[in-house]
Structure 1
Amino acid sequence: MNVQLIFGPILIGVFFNMILYGVLCVQSYFYYQTYKRDASWIRYLVLYLFIIETINTGIDMFIAYEPLILRFGNPDALKYFPTLFASEPLIIVAVSTPIQLFFAWRIKVLTKSNWIAGPIIVFGIISLAGGIWTGVKLAIIKDFIRKPELHIPALVWFLSSCISDVLITGSLVFSLSRRRTGYVATDDAISKIIRMTVQTGMLTAVFAIGDVIFFMTMEHTALNFVWDLALSKLYTNCLMATLNARAALNEKVGTSSHGNRISAAARRQIDTFESSHMPVYELDAQKTFDASSSYPRGDVEIGITVTKVVERMEDPRPNVRETTQ
């Protein structure tokens, strides 16, 4: 076997994983410093993902360390998968499936429809089953030359995950496009959300497709691990990017990032886009609020609220002198 085509992709994949972990650390710190009033379960989800990704980074480092250092010069290093490699599919689906279910719930809130969120949940659960199947199968076969035996479980895993990602991206883009109001500030914010949705959603789908293509067509190499070892970090960073983008949206439409104060510029635009305490993938144009009031705690999970501030103009009072004359 070609050593470069086995250990080279694994090492590169670990490098990507560690770089993305550094990005995740920064994003997680920014999130907890900025969005302290998010719903508790969302903050716990971010904490769960950070812990899982920290464990994953340590495991991936050992995956590269074992064959290159501990088994250096040992023929078994080329014959068998690294000891902890079977955990990789399990960790990926432990990250990707909760994120897909999170977005499915957001889409349910956004569209008020189970028909759109339902298929996303179904394919997310199928990908979870496929990932577990792949990990168990990997732990059983151990031998690198038997890698083609993983094709069926890996295909179930990657294709279902890819379909779920595409459904999330497509449904969000379609739903948000229908929420345009005709006001410049609001439509610009919605356009920004749409662009970010396409960029983040399709990125994970492209990596999943690349992983399965390399896995199926280059079965005697490890080139697919360049994609595979970075996949979980991509899912988590994409989620964190969408959560942290709310601060930029607030600045874009002229609202305060720590409250519901509406700037004069936003008033002149008539429209404001309040998202300081809410995930970016919720949009509820029917629920409004008083610009001078603050959000109650229960509204944290409702979504991005489009609010129209109407200025009333009254005729000036007549001059007292003029009336007396």
Structure 2
Amino acid sequence: MPSVDLLYVLMLIGAFLNAILYGVLVVQIFIYFQTYKKDSPWIKCFIFFLLIAETLNTGFDIGMMYEPLILKYATPAATTFFPFMLAADPIMTVIISTPIQMFIAWRIRIISRANWLAVVICIFALISLGGGVWLTYTVTVIRRFARKPELHWPALTWLAASAIADVIITVSLTVSLSKRKTGFSGTDDAINKIIRLTVQTGLITAIFAILDVVCFLVLPHTTMNFVWDFALSKLYTNALISTLNARAGWNNIANGNTANNVLFGDDSSRRGHLETFTSTNLRSPPALTTGTFELEQARSTLSKGRPDLEFGISVAKEIETVHDPSIVRFDHNSSWQ
């Protein structure tokens, strides 16, 4: 009978990695919602769904380690049976990874115009989903550490399909982005940075999935594979959110502006809400009391020093003069787009 140390030390390391990456994820999601307030509502709902799923996943991992190390410590059951919540790991991982892979497949379809490529990625993502569900069912049936090698085929189906999808995503994005180079140094530098980020975030999930399945096949009677397995879902989500958050960074790079920071920047400059402008800046008629005119000069005034912000000002805005005729105030019903 294996000892508690041999069985659970590697699983505990995997659970620690999961919890650490969860902290990173929370920070990234906070940055996302603070920075990209104008993203489509369905994308925001998708990110919120991932946050809930990842919270549950981390909770299940903590509960999984609590059972044998606390509730059943020093009992034969602790080293004989799988922790009850171990079955939740594969299904929670594929519930997270499959939508992410399909989301990226949709983006690849838009970038490359290759419908067949998106279909191939989705097929492997769905195979991975099926393998994860199959593995969850098999874990609940087998239950014993001694029978762990019997999990071979469902684990292989899940992890191999997921790794293949990740490799296809990384290669296709790299090729598609490389074809978009224009010859201009600023644009090409930004694209090169996007490619490096794509390779780094895409390959790391594929590497962890491959290490998971290799350790499972080569060392079936150990728990080495769980070091990579428990961190897998967090890697998928962190990779997606970091790519979404990097959009502001790419805009800054393309415009030669790196001084702005989401966490420590001047919040007042992000709101796009200025109460007053001088009439000389707006070049408005001195005698105008109410009316409408184009505010193109306001656009350049607001964007000065902040090229990463995309300000849109309605062409026709109602304004009114105050006691000082040199001051013009925006109607508070004006909309920023």
Same fold (TM over 0.5): yes
CA contact (8 A) 1:17 1:230 kept: yes
1:252 matched residue in structure 2: 253
CA contact (8 A) 1:5 1:223 kept: no
1:152 aligns with 2:157: no
CA contact (8 A) 2:100 2:236 kept: yes
2:122 matched residue in structure 1: 121
3-state secondary structure, aligned to 2:181: coil
* Structure showing greater Rg: 2
Q: Distance in 2 between matches of 1:6 and 1:36?
A: 45
2:173 matched residue in structure 1: 172
Call closer, same or farther: CA 1:43–1:8 in 2, change over 3 Å: same
Q: Distance in 2 between matches of 1:62 and 1:148?
A: 24
2:99 matched residue in structure 1: 98
Alpha-carbon offset, residue 5 of structure 1: 2.4
Runs of 4 or more, structure 1, over 4 Å off, are: 255-266, 292-295
1:65 aligns with 2:79: no
1:206 aligns with 2:210: no
Q: Distance in 2 between matches of 1:128 and 1:191?
A: 32
Alpha-carbon offset, residue 102 of structure 1: 0.4
Q: Distance in 2 between matches of 1:142 and 1:9?
A: 19
* Superimposed CA distance per residue, residues 177-214 of structure 1 (whole angstroms, 9 cap, x where no aligned partner): 00000111111110000000000000000000000011
* Superimposed CA distance per residue, residues 113-143 of structure 1 (whole angstroms, 9 cap, x where no aligned partner): 2111111010000000000000111111111
2:186 matched residue in structure 1: 185
2:284 matched residue in structure 1: none
Alpha-carbon offset, residue 263 of structure 1: 7.3
Q: Distance in 1 between matches of 2:170 and 2:305?
A: 32
Call closer, same or farther: CA 1:255–1:35 in 2, change over 3 Å: farther
Q: Which has the higher contact order (CA 8 A, sep 6+)?
A: 1
Alpha-carbon offset, residue 70 of structure 1: 0.4
2:17 matched residue in structure 1: 16
CA contact (8 A) 2:4 2:78 kept: no
Q: Distance in 1 between matches of 2:28 and 2:158?
A: 28
2:242 matched residue in structure 1: 241
Matched to 2:23, the amino acid is: G
Range that drifts further, 257-266 or 240-249: 257-266
CA contact (8 A) 1:214 1:223 kept: yes
Q: Distance in 2 between matches of 1:88 and 1:131?
A: 9
Matched to 2:173, the amino acid is: L
Q: Distance in 1 between matches of 2:244 and 2:312?
A: 24
Alpha-carbon offset, residue 172 of structure 1: 0.3
* Superimposed CA distance per residue, residues 199-256 of structure 1 (whole angstroms, 9 cap, x where no aligned partner): 0000000000000011111111111101011110111111111011111111111288
Q: TM-score, normalised by structure 1?
A: 0.80
3-state secondary structure, aligned to 1:119: helix
Q: Distance in 2 between matches of 1:129 and 1:236?
A: 20
Identity value in percent? 50
Q: Distance in 2 between matches of 1:243 and 1:132?
A: 29
Alpha-carbon offset, residue 3 of structure 1: 2.7
* Superimposed CA distance per residue, residues 244-292 of structure 1 (whole angstroms, 9 cap, x where no aligned partner): 11111111112888699797899xxxxx9x8x78xxxxxxxxxxxxxx8
Aligned residues: 274
CA contact (8 A) 1:255 1:263 kept: no
